[in-house]
Every structure is written in structure tokens, then in C-alpha cells.
Copies of this chain bind each other. A is one copy, B any other.
Amino acid sequence: MEIRHYLNEQRQVVDLALEKYMLKPQGPFARHIESMRYSLFVGGKRLRPILCLAAADTIDPGCTAREKLLPVACALECIHTYSLIHDDLPAMDNDDLRRGKPTNHRLYGEAGAILAGDGLLTWAFDLLTGQDSVLPPESLLQITHLIARAAGSLGMVGGQALDIAYENKEFPFELLQTIHRSKTGALLTCAVQAGAVGAGATPEETEAMVHYGDRIGLAFQIVDDLLDVTASTEQLGKTAGGDAKKGKATYPAYFGVDKSRKMALEAVTAAKDALAGFQEKAAPLLAIADYIYARSN
């Protein structure tokens, strides 16, 4: 499987769906909608939507489920984008650059960026529960609940609150794991899980997917920490070395670069092992796991 080709192709699928399902910049709220669209369409790997669709394809190799999951995939990207906008705010990480472009608040002001984030988060739930969502009501409710739980105070928002609270403070490795798992891991895992549930996975299949999501979530975060140390600002599209500057705890800070890389590889291996039961049907998810690790080299 040519992973770069696959990811490119899937990114285009997601981009088309986002264009279809996202609010258009018209009417009295045009400028506000424009501010949301700026961050949503400024770029991005679309990793969460692609994971969702790839998980659906694994459960339903006929690829009929993925069509019904496109609004779910787009909702995940809206939530991811909102989290980046709020994380970049002056009161939070105070970043000027994201994906090689000015951050939302640099263009639309702080108030505009806060509201762009609020709007994208709320739009995700509008999309999940609206007429474009054609999954059965029970599945939709379950998926919407999974997403709310992963994105909220016991997941991504809670993780970001901890991340901010512990800047420039020493804390035990267990807390770093909690931060990573909630801030980054929860939504990645949820993306895979939502795809599986929407495609009609059995509880055992869903459990395997959750385990896969948990491990690639860990790998993703370790690699992210590594890239912040080893890559340039140009390569990253955001300011390199930001973690150290902000006094954030990271895997390389705890374990050094080599050990961290080894831990990322172990996590990826565990992720792939979790999918053994799906055999070749899981090819895209397996390749995505490898790709996440490959970014670190």
C-alpha cells in the first residue's frame, strides 16, 4: 500500500466533504463564518477524519459505510480545528504560526478567534445531528456521545487545562501520560471508534479498534514531541522548539530522543498487533500506524 498516495487521496475526499458540509460565508454572519473557514481550510493532514473512514472501511470492506460517515469525519475535523484555534490564543500557547500561516487570532483578533472556535465546536454537533447525517438514530447518538466525551472536560479540554496548569512545573511521568492521553489520544481513539461503530462493528471489533487508537495516539504524541526538538520551523509549519520554550514536559525531556523513538515504535507495533484479527482488511490502518512512526525519522 502506497501510504502517501492513500493519504493524499483520502485528504481530497475529506476536503470535498468539508466544503459540502461547512457553512458558507454568506448572510449577516459571513465574516464570522469566514474566520472559521480560514482555519478549517488552511491545510492539515485530516488525520482524524481519515482514521474514521479507514476504520469504517476495515469493518465494511465494501466501503458503503464510509459515505454515511462523512459528516462524522467532518465533525471530527471541525473539533480538531477549534482546539488548535483556542490552543494558539495569546492566553494559551500564544502562537503566531500554524501550518505555515498566521494563526486565527492574528487575522481575526482574539475575540474573533474565540468565537471561531466556539462556532466550529458547535457546528460539529449541528452536523452530527442534522439532516446530512443518515446513520440510524441510535448509532448517531452513540457516536455523538463518544465524540462529546472525547472532546470535553474528561478528554481533550481537560487535557489542555492540565497542560496549561503544569507549564514550567515538574510533575511525574504518570501525569504526562494523562495529559497526552486526554489532550491528543482521546480524539484520535474516538475517530477510529466512531468509524467502527458507524460501520456496524461488533463489541469485540470495536474494542480492538479502541486499542489501536490508544496506541497510535501515544505514538503520535511522542513523535510530535520529537519533531518539536528535531525539526525546523519550516518543516513543522509552526514554531519549532516551542515545547521547551514554554516549559512543557515532553517524552524527549523525560527519556531522551533515542529512547522516545523506541517507545514510539513499540506503540506503533502494539497498535498493529491489535488489528491482527482483521487481516488484510486493515491495510490502511496498518499503513497509517507505520506512517505516524516514519514521521519521526
Contact = CB atoms under 8 A, between A and B. Distances in A.
Interface of A: 23, 27-29, 31-33, 35-36, 86, 89, 91-92, 109-112, 114-115, 117-119, 121-123, 125-126, 129-130, 137-138, 140-142, 144-145, 148-149, 151-154, 157-158, 160-162, 164-165, 175, 178, 182
5 contacts: A32-B158, A32-B161, A86-B115, A126-B145, A137-B141
A148 to B, nearest CB: 4
Nearest to A167: B111
Instruction: Say whether chain A's binding surface is mostly helix, strand, loop, or mixed.
Output: helix
Contacts of A158: 28-29, 32-33, 119
Contact of A92 (B86, B114, B117): B114
A162 B122 contact: no
Contacts of A115: 86, 157, 160-161, 164
A137 to B, nearest CB: 4
Given A110-B91, A115-B160, A153-B32, A145 B122 contact: no
A160 B35 CA distance: 14
Nearest to A179: B28
Contacts of A162: 28-29, 32
A28 B154 CA distance: 9
A280 B118 CA distance: 40
Contacts of A91: 91, 109-111, 114
B122 A86 contact: no
A1 to B, nearest CB: 35
B125 A125 contact: yes
B153 A122 contact: yes
Contact of A157 (B32, B137, B145, B157): B32
Q: Which of A33, A126, A175 has the most CB of B within 10 A?
A: A126
Contact of A23 (B23, B130, B154): B154
Given A29-B158, A91-B114, A164-B111, A122 B121 contact: yes
Contacts of A36: 153
B119 A153 contact: yes
A29 B153 contact: yes
The 7 A-B residue pairs whose C-beta atoms are closest, nearest first, are A91-B110, A122-B152, A32-B161, A29-B158, A137-B137, A126-B148, A119-B153
Contacts of A151: 122
A232 B150 CA distance: 43
A109 B90 CA distance: 12
A193 to B, nearest CB: 15
Nearest to A94: B111
